[in-house]
Structure 1
């Protein structure tokens, strides 16, 4: 029996990318061979609750750090999976320094750079990890180039329970859809700027974050009536919105392998993303465009909206390409990794 602890949350309504990933992995681990312990706040998603051999630690408003400390003092695990960059990891690294019996498996989900060497906790985790797995070849490449650490990669799958193509033609609510946190590196302001220039098209923005009020004020001051801030949506509602959109626009320039882009192609959306992030969900000129220059964004959006034949062709290519990102296959790779580390 392999005992795994992950500082991830099992809640149904927790749509943080790490937690979505870990839930999909845990649901596919055979409970006869893998015991998993993870956090929860309120309502545990059914497929984790019913899995068997899964233990849960309640996350409360207060006292989480001391509960975490005591739990790891009195419980030993084979694997600490998917560390985050928080006080919990700092504490765990101190505990494990003395016991040295728990293997740390880090899933690196963002590219790193020379500046990343200034992130003390990131460096501690990377140096303490038994195995590091990138979520794309590009992420693993940046790790080697900047830290001289070799790592394999395992793609995330796509949740086909919620993200799939429409069986019939649906009336489109949005011409252009963006999904992601509203923070600086994601550049959601470019969606607002595009909506301002393309007033005949309807834009939807899904997500929340520190730039929400800034974006809302900009929309109000410039009277941009063709864009909606939709806030955070459940996975079910997000899938429905994607199937009712024409194209997906993702202007971020600092990513790993963003799940929202994979979800979009599974729903049949052509994608416009930045070439810089090397997202393998998009094959340039096949199921979307990888744009090198911001000045080309408006041209590409207009081209896809106005050319239905091209949009339909790319939509079919997106659906076909999405089949290459399968959770069952991804988890089989994770299982191999767990077994190799423990044995």
Structure 2
């Protein structure tokens, strides 16, 4: 199997899509699939080995001319390589394909793995409408479109004609996150102060301030801090959150800053419950949620449709509408659960996360390859 792959999101850049795309390519490489990878942007180096060739192109497919250059590059690469399969790892490549004025015949299947879809957005402005127009044209060339469950549902609300092309595929999680069952942390709330943890960019919509304020209420009620709260991440809200922590004199709430994805298993494994307090949908998959579940952690989450297939109320976590009082009561519920229930929730998280393990996602993708 010879695959020609295109993307602008790839390691060493930081982000969920970069991590997912590199895990997909790495997983295919382990299966001895021959891949030629084309990257767009300035930050990468050309890497060559026996199973993977990476070609770096310094322009990115964002402007009109960038899209046209991408289209010409895709066409010329296909003619040169003659692949068995073309794989797009982000939607901008599909948008470039939609700009062709002539009907093209690539003589092979085209798959696209998308984090989200422009067609699920409101696209009220001219640029958004134009992007949606080219995406719709580009989708005509796509044989199989791989999306998360939530993105699929959102897309089919107004674009049911795409149903035959869509396949549900989660984003892969590194094998490093999956702890063996005997390493599940047993809940012993009477022996230590429990540790809550969140991972993500420090943006307002992430809702980390709601947890800080909930813990401040708890301190006021009990006269002491009942748990630790660790936030891993960086971003524009860091000063605001730091000032909020100082204001409420919360000595057990800490912002650790950015940590590489490869270091996260060791941090998450030391926590007792993982918290996702986002105040809007934002994400299409929920990578940090699955990574925590792979570490056998129960989840305390805002009610988000994109996490509804991951976090089950009472089964592997608690789900609430995001506000200070709801999180306060949810944390209090967690502090009072039994050891046996905690272990049951931990195992449930791990069981759900297993299907997103890198090798499982890659095998699921390979099953869809043309024979």
TM range (shorter): 0.7 to 0.9
SS of the residue aligned with 2:201?
coil
Give the structure 2 partner of residue 128 of structure 1: 138
Asked whether 1:275 is paired with 2:303, we answer yes
How many residues align? The count is 330
Give the structure 2 partner of residue 53 of structure 1: 51
Give the structure 2 partner of residue 141 of structure 1: 153
Asked whether 1:175 is paired with 2:192, we answer no
TM alignment of 1:231-310, pairs within 5 A = 231-252=257-278, 253-254=280-281, 255-279=283-307, 280-292=309-321, 294=323, 295-309=325-339, 310=341
CA contact (8 A) 1:111 1:256 kept: no
2: CA distance, partners of 1:302 / 1:90: 48
Worse-superposed segment, 253-262 or 30-39: 30-39
Are residues 109 and 319 of structure 1, via their aligned partners in 2, closer, same or farther at CA, if it must alter by over 3 Å?
same
Are residues 93 and 210 of structure 1, via their aligned partners in 2, closer, same or farther at CA, if it must alter by over 3 Å?
farther
The Cα shift of 1:114 comes to 6.5
Give the structure 2 partner of residue 94 of structure 1: 99
1: CA distance, partners of 2:178 / 2:117: 25
What whole-Å deviation, never above 9, does each CA across 1:276-322 have from its counterpart, x for those lacking one? 32422222211112224634221111221333523233123222332
1: CA distance, partners of 2:101 / 2:4: 14
Length-normalised TM-score, structure 2:
0.74
CA contact (8 A) 1:133 1:152 kept: yes
Are residues 4 and 191 of structure 1, via their aligned partners in 2, closer, same or farther at CA, if it must alter by over 3 Å?
farther
Give the structure 1 partner of residue 2 of structure 2: 2
What whole-Å deviation, never above 9, does each CA across 1:173-224 have from its counterpart, x for those lacking one? 9611111223344333323323333441211112233433433343344444
SS of the residue aligned with 1:261?
helix
Length-normalised TM-score, structure 1:
0.79
CA contact (8 A) 1:183 1:211 kept: yes
SS of the residue aligned with 1:304?
helix
Give the structure 1 partner of residue 222 of structure 2: none
Unmatched segments (≥5 aa) in structure 2 = 220-224
TM alignment of 1:210-221, pairs within 5 A = 210-221=236-247
Worse-superposed segment, 67-76 or 28-37: 67-76
SS of the residue aligned with 2:349?
helix
CA contact (8 A) 2:120 2:151 kept: no
The Cα shift of 1:335 comes to 2.4
1: CA distance, partners of 2:352 / 2:198: 20
What whole-Å deviation, never above 9, does each CA across 1:112-159 have from its counterpart, x for those lacking one? 8874343332553244121322212x3211110133332221123432
Give the structure 1 partner of residue 27 of structure 2: 28
2: CA distance, partners of 1:174 / 1:160: 26
Unmatched segments (≥5 aa) in structure 1 = none
SS of the residue aligned with 1:29?
helix
SS of the residue aligned with 1:178?
strand
Worse-superposed segment, 304-313 or 175-184: 304-313
The Cα shift of 1:268 comes to 1.4
SS of the residue aligned with 1:133?
strand
CA contact (8 A) 1:172 1:246 kept: no
